[in-house]
């Protein structure tokens, strides 16, 4: 049995889509460290969460990385979304020569003996906000001509950076 | 004896100006947590650093808080300076109705029994970059008509947010 350490039940549902192993939520808000690296943040979180849970855990950390802004807002995407809002972030990117960006996610696994990390990503372009669905930076992230906020949940999940990380983890864990 | 946990010798010199107690540097790069609150970050850092040092420690955490941007970049000031640069941050503030801002600092003390925090701050205004001195956001932070990058080190230290926090700590620790 595996614990997904998250306060977000939506993430648990997504994990169950990728894993044959039984997964239960551990609703624990571990302290995230400050780092440029999603992998370092997720690994430290998995280590801390395993200390609390005493059984194998996974955690994930995700962010929007804008190429022309050297990866900003990256691991601090939630903070920046809350403070600046997605309009200002879109304007910052639109003022640059390229609008290339990626949603990235890292799943980290810890069982007290080993800590392993599994990255996933999806490439896109920053645009002015369009669409009513999704959350976070979805309205300004375009992939294949459509923003993540214009897609159905199914369309978006099929592309999901977290899904790609979960699929890599499942392959490692279950084979 | 007290350990100032920092990788920055300049901070140690500043602390010695405020404290009668002997202070030595502990050059240890503790993991900062992600939080909106400088006090929470400094307190967690002091706790962790005390676990490593095994003797009384102080740490500090500082940031630039822009009122119209809900405190952005706040605890993530170094990250934002590196990724966006001070010009872009200045432009974000100049596009708003008010340019009010503050440099804030929190000193945290931990000795294994108690953790105490001491805040200090200085009010100012965000402007376009001026001046060659200082570091970080100093060139866009104006106080009394002069940016922190236009002041001498003595002028700036007399106003320092970290100095005010250190003075409060010294008053508590030494009386």
Tens of pLDDT, residues B60-82: 999 999 999 999 999 999 999 99
Q: What was the pLDDT predicted at B51?
A: 93
Q: Does B79 touch chain A (CB under 8 A)?
A: yes
What SS3 string covers B134-175?
CCCCHHHEEECCEECCCCCHHHHHHHCHHHHHHHHHHHHHHC
pLDDT at A29: 86
Query: Which of B32, B75, B83 is opposite residue A72, by nearest beta carbon?
Result: B83
Considering chain B, what is the average pLDDT of its residues? Answer: 94
Mean pLDDT of the region B6-26? 91
Chain B residues with CB inside 8 Å of A93's CB? none
DSSP string, A19-54: -SS-EEEE---PPPBP-S-HHHHHHHHHHHHHHHH-
d(CA B164, CA A19): 53
User: For B113, phi and psi rounded to 5 degrees?
Assistant: -105, -45
Q: Per the omega criterion (within 30 degrees of 0), is the bond before A129 cis?
A: no
Chain A residue with Cα closest to B92? A88
B74/A88 touch (CB, cutoff 8 Å), yes or no: no
**What is the domain partition of chain B in residue ranges?**
2-174
Domain B2-174 has CATH 3.90.950.10: yes
Does the structure show a pLDDT above 90 at B98? Answer: yes
> What is the distance between the alpha carbons of residues B31 and B48, in angstroms, rounded to a whole number?
8
Of B36, B69, B83, the CB nearest to A84: B69
In chain B, which residues have their Cβ closer than 8 Å to the Cβ of A36?
Answer: 79
Do the interacting molecules here have an ipTM over 0.90? no
Please give the average pLDDT of every successive group of 10 residues along chain A, which has 175 residues. Answer: 90 90 91 94 96 94 97 96 97 97 97 96 98 93 96 88 94 92
Predicted confidence band at B157 (pLDDT cuts at 50, 70, 90)? Answer: confident
Q: Out of A34, A82, A92, name the one closest to residue B32 (CB).
A: A34
* For residue B30, pLDDT beyond 90: no
Note the pLDDT of residue B8. Answer: 86
Distance of CA A76 to the CA centre of its chain: 11
Quote the crossing angle between the two packed helices B161-174 and B9-18, to the nearest 10°.
50
User: Bigger pLDDT: A65 or B158?
Assistant: A65
Tokens 């939506």 belong to residue: A10
Phi, psi (5° rounding) for residue B4?
Answer: -95, 115
Whole-number Å distance between alpha carbons of B2 and B173: 11
Give the strand pairing for B2-5 and B57-66. parallel
Return all residues near A35 (Cβ < 8 A) that are at least 6 apart: A41, A44, A75
Tell me the whole-structure pTM to 2 decimals. 0.90
Tell me how many degrees the CA angle B88-B104-B50 measures, rounded to the nearest 5. Answer: 120
B68 and chain A: CB distance < 8 Å anywhere? Answer: no
Q: Give yes or no for B31 touching A (CB within 8 A).
A: yes
How far apart are the C-alpha atoms of A3 and A56, rounded to whole Å? 6
Residue in B31, B53, B59 with CA at minimum distance from that of residue B116: B59
- Rounded mean pLDDT of B27-34? 90
Give, in degrees to the nearest 5, the angle at Cα A40 between B65 and B70.
Answer: 15
* B29 lies within 8 A of chain A by CB: no
CA separation for the pair B11, B20 (Å, rounded): 16
| Element counts in chain B: helices (H) and strands (E) | 6, 8
Q: What is the CATH number of domain A2-173?
A: 3.90.950.10
Q: Is the pLDDT of residue B35 over 90?
A: yes
pLDDT band of B153, cuts 50, 70, 90: confident
What pLDDT shows up at residue A153? 83
């Amino acid at each position: 049995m595996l614990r997904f350490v998250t306060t977000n039940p939506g993430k648990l549902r997504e994990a169950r889509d990728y894993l044959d192993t039984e997964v239960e939520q551990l609703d624990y808000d571990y302290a995230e460290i400050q780092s440029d690296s999603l992998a370092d943040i997720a690994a430290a979180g998995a280590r801390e969460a395993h200390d609390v849970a005493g059984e194998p855990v996974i955690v994930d950390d995700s962010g929007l990385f804008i190429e022309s802004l050297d990866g900003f807002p990256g691991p601090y995407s939630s903070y920046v979304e809350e403070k600046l809002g997605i309009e200002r972030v879109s304007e910052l990117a639109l003022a640059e020569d390229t609008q290339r960006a990626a949603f990235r996610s890292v799943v980290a696994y810890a069982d007290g003996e080993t800590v392993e990390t599994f990255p996933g990503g999806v490439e896109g372009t920053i645009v002015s906000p369009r669409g009513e669905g999704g959350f976070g930076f979805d309205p300004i992230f375009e992939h294949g001509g459509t923003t993540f906020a214009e897609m159905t949940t199914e369309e978006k999940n099929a592309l999901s950076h977290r899904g790609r990380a979960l699929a890599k983890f499942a392959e490692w864990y279950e084979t």
